[in-house]
Amino acid sequence: RGYVLRRILRRAVRFGQSLGLNEPFLYKFSEVVAEEMGDVYPEVREKLPMIQKAIKAEEERFHMTLNDGLAIVNQAIAKLKAEGKTEIDGATAFTFYDTYGFPIDLTQDMAEEAGMTVDAQGFEDAMAKQRELSKNAKKSVTAWDLAFTVSEQLGDLGKSKFVGYETLSCQSKISGMIVDGVKVVEAEEGDEVYAILPETPFYAESGGQTGDKGVIKGAEGYIKVNDTVKLPDGKFVHKGTVIGTVAVGESVSAEVDKANRLATARNHTTTHLLHKVLKETLGEHVNQAGSSVDANRLRFDFSHFTAMTAEELATVERRVNEEILNAHDVEISEKSLDEAKTLGFTALFGEKYGEIVRCVKAGDFSMELCGGTHLTNTAQAGSFKIVSEGAVAAGIRRIEAVTGMAAYEYVKAEENRLREAAEVLKTTDKDIVGRIEQLNNQIKEQNKELNKFKNQAAMGQVAGIMDGLVEVNGIKLIAAQVEADSEGLREMADTLRAKIESGVVVLGAVNGENVQLVAAVTKDLAGKKINAGAIVRETAKLCGGSGGGRPDMAQAGGKDASKLAEALANVKNILAAIEK
């Protein structure tokens, strides 16, 4: 959703950044649009705060992408130019897009600024190849494709009648079976079977709710059903393992696993409560964007622009539990779609409904159209606990949660982890935070002492570094790798700059997996052709980083420590190019 609009917005952000606008700015123009077009599109004025929030969030997301991607693209461009190439190949451009989220049009803009082009056709070819791989991967993991194909052998069978809303068991018969992709009349011990019944209480996977489990009992054996799906032609397929023997045509007792159905219903009904509470807490812009419920947990995707705060999550969790304890009766009825909408039942965006719809109402709190199985009263959910909240796509968030005994077990597991942590820290549960703060302070003090010794040792390297002094077009230059933190680098650069009296000093160090760089220029040269910021920026590019600063002192960071030696060796070339 909004793909084209997002591309236009991101392109504008990129141009804004090239003009020095490094903070979100486009969202501010929303007021002008609302003022000029509000008479024609009143919803723009009504929803102005939400529109501004959405645009600003998109700008902030893209600034993060740019910050990561710019260094990578710049590094690639510098490398290609050094190799004498004038074009970024399609595979490389696709890597920028697929791995780092860097759009092709922005790669083209940056290439153009550097006097290069991008192999657009190669990019499209790589994109097509990726789509094909994705398509094939999807085919290879869709287990039910086989069942759908083989079910054509059972085309003489009619639709299955679902009676699972009213009962969890019924008498039926096996009208068809498939084993290993082949239609069979009998299945034996251990066979993995797809069985079709003309009448079934098993709910088939639909609307994000998983299919029922249970047993189909015959005279000489039974099928242990572990999943149920509905085929496009209306047949319900029960997937399971045979114990004993079962045969086509025999009478059977179809029995749904009551505990599994109830646990799934807990999560499904609670999902409805969660949807309403999210609208209450975050705003009416919240809409369901997907869901998945089974006996173990619920997953709910919804439209929202930013990560939820700890306070918002706590509010949502508390409110859902309040509505569970309010013990709302859950009423289910069938109505015409128009009547349901008039009464205020929520229809999901993009969902296709028939003329008659199933309406699920939890007291006066929640009203939704839904074909799933539910509790008879919200109190049956027991309790609700949020396990995680995060992003799944731009503007789409996901909450995962548990209910009932699963919520209890989750909390007990957290308590056990807290107790284990307290034991490791040699303190009590209630004093863990204080103990961690105490240890952090000790670590900080020890790191200060360690850095002090490192910097003292680094200053001892000055004499040896002076031996590496060279001249480039009559200008003294020291470019060396040392062992020091950022403060030590600056102190050493100051010392060396004072010793050479006139010239340029560039020092680099590896700290962890990252590179730190400092450039210092003596006052007689700073700003007169030679700029420390420009030198350190060009040097950092080879290390996959960026930076800048004053004409006389600047610093930068990089991500590729393996390139530090090459980058420092290249300072002579940078200085020579400046002098020309």
Tens of pLDDT along 268-322?
999 999 999 999 999 999 999 999 999 999 999 999 989 999 999 999 999 999 9
Segment 531-555 mean pLDDT: 92
Is residue 222 one of the residues assigned to a domain?
yes
Tell me the pLDDT band of 209, cut-offs 50, 70 and 90.
very high
Is residue 452 one of the residues assigned to a domain?
no
Q: Are residues 317 and 226 in the same domain?
A: no
CATH of the domain at 474: 3.10.310.40
What residues make up the domain containing 351?
261-412
Q: Are residues 375 and 492 in the same domain?
A: no
**Tell me: the pLDDT tens digits for 231-248?**
888 889 999 999 999 999
Q: Please give the pLDDT value at position 80.
A: 86
CATH of the domain at 168: 2.40.30.130
Q: Are residues 282 and 392 in the same domain?
A: yes
Q: Please give the pLDDT value at position 42.
A: 86
Q: Are residues 93 and 169 in the same domain?
A: no
Is residue 419 one of the residues assigned to a domain?
no
- Which single residue is written with the structure tokens 């209890």? 408
> pLDDT: is 78 or 3 the higher one?
78
Is residue 449 one of the residues assigned to a domain?
no
DSSP β-ladder status, 546-549 and 87-88: unpaired
Q: Over the range 262-273, which residues count as b (16 or more CB within 10 Å of their CB) and which as e?
A: ebbbbbbbbbbb
What average pLDDT is seen over the chain? 89
Residues 6+ apart with CB under 8 A from 372: 203, 206, 207, 208, 209, 268, 293, 360
Q: By CB neighbour count within 10 A (0-12 exposed, 13-18 middle, 19+ buried), where does 60 fall? A: middle
Is residue 425 one of the residues assigned to a domain?
no
Q: Let me know the angle formed at the C-alpha of 548 by 544 and 550, rounded to the nearest 5 degrees.
A: 160
Res. 149: pLDDT tops 60: no
Tell me the pLDDT band of 129, cut-offs 50, 70 and 90.
confident
| Domain stops at, among 117, 141, 165 | 141
**Tell me: the pLDDT tens digits for 2-40?**
667 877 888 888 788 778 888 899 999 999 999 999 888
Q: Are residues 251 and 345 in the same domain?
A: no
Is residue 516 one of the residues assigned to a domain?
yes
Residues 6+ apart with CB under 8 A from 159: 233, 234, 235
Q: Are residues 271 and 185 in the same domain?
A: no
**pTM for the structure as a whole:** 0.63
Res. 1: pLDDT tops 60: no
Q: Are residues 225 and 273 in the same domain?
A: no
Is residue 446 one of the residues assigned to a domain?
no
CATH of the domain at 403: 3.30.980.10
Q: Please give the pLDDT value at position 453.
A: 79
Q: Are residues 247 and 281 in the same domain?
A: no
Is residue 423 one of the residues assigned to a domain?
no
What span, in angstroms and rounded, lies between the C-alpha atoms of 227 and 213?
6
- CB 550 within 8 Å of CB 518: no
Q: Are residues 270 and 405 in the same domain?
A: yes
The percentage of residues in the chain with a pLDDT greater than 70, rounded to a whole number, is 93
Choose among 484, 477, 531, 468: nearest CA to 500: 477
Choose among 525, 526, 464: nearest CA to 496: 464
What span, in angstroms and rounded, lies between the C-alpha atoms of 144 and 197?
17
What is the helix (H) or strand (E) element at residue 470, kind and residue range?
strand 470-472
Tell me the three state secondary structure of residue 210.
coil
Q: Are residues 47 and 83 in the same domain?
A: yes
**Tell me: the pLDDT tens digits for 404-430?**
999 999 999 999 999 999 999 999 988
- CB 218 within 8 Å of CB 133: no
- CB 359 within 8 Å of CB 335: yes
Q: Tell me how many domains the chain contains.
A: 4
Q: Are residues 106 and 191 in the same domain?
A: no
Backbone angles phi, psi at 531, to 5 degrees: -130, 120
| Domain stops at, among 412, 442, 470 | 412
Asked which of 72-81, 132-141, 160-169, 363-372 is least confident by mean pLDDT, the reply is 132-141
Q: Are residues 271 and 374 in the same domain?
A: yes
Q: Please give the pLDDT value at position 370.
A: 94
What span, in angstroms and rounded, lies between the C-alpha atoms of 506 and 535?
8
Q: Please give the pLDDT value at position 143.
A: 44
Q: Over the range 99-125, which residues count as b (16 or more CB within 10 Å of their CB) and which as e?
A: eebbbbebbbbbbeebebebbeebbee
| Domain stops at, among 235, 256, 277 | 256
What span, in angstroms and rounded, lies between the C-alpha atoms of 358 and 368?
9
> pLDDT: is 201 or 90 the higher one?
201
Res. 180: pLDDT tops 90: no
